[in-house]
Amino acid sequence: AENEHVCLSLARALGLPAAETTVRTFEGESALVVTRYDRVRRDDGSIRRLHQEDFCQALGIPPEQRYEQHGGHGSGTLSELLWGHSSAPADDVWAFAGANVFNWLIGGTDAHAKNYSVMIGSKGRIRLAPLYDVASAVPHVHPKRLRLANRIGGKYRTQDIRARHWKRFATDVNLPVEKVIDMGLLMADRLPEELRRITASARTQGIDHPIMESLVNQLTDRARYCAGVLQGQAMPEGHAGFGRRPRGTAR
């Protein structure tokens, strides 16, 4: 719960639409509490449900194919859904691209087609839904085994992804190459400070867990590494250090 809360809070801090969360304890167990974004309150106080479809539903593919490696669609096709049907296509494709960069930065390995959705509002207005179900696998998985749900420029393993693969990704989703690289560099630069702020704020609210300190240490190291990748460095600083399993975290 703490991992997902921190990562979704970090996504929002870096400018991405993401569900608002907190962590509560029930009978000694921590639980993630998510604010519903698919409900709106009418003037009379009643609640209206907003229709949401994940990308598998929107594209008519079975949930078993939610991962690209299991026969699902890649980022290019997923972005085409937004380019073709969103009411604000450029904004939503940039948010989708930013989500891909963010998951690479944090080692988020579960950003498959069922974890992206569109909201369908009145008069058929369609927008990318806020991010949900986002967490870092870095505290639990060795860097050589971190694999993204969708390929970036033909690569699944985060350790294999270089600047040229992000340039190919930008072309796949029909966005300016250099602006995608710049977005990644800005996120990597801002991530450490925002992460420290978020975890410090969480502790003042009584939210604490050893994994939070692990996220600060390892994702700070990883952000440095990813920035080096985007700058074209052959062996970016931080490459050898990130991904070591911290003491006290689950296997």
The residues that are catalytic are 110
Distance CA 90, CA 87 (A): 9
Q: What is the largest CA-CA distance in the chain?
A: 60
Angle at 8 between CA 4 and CA 10, to 5 degrees: 115
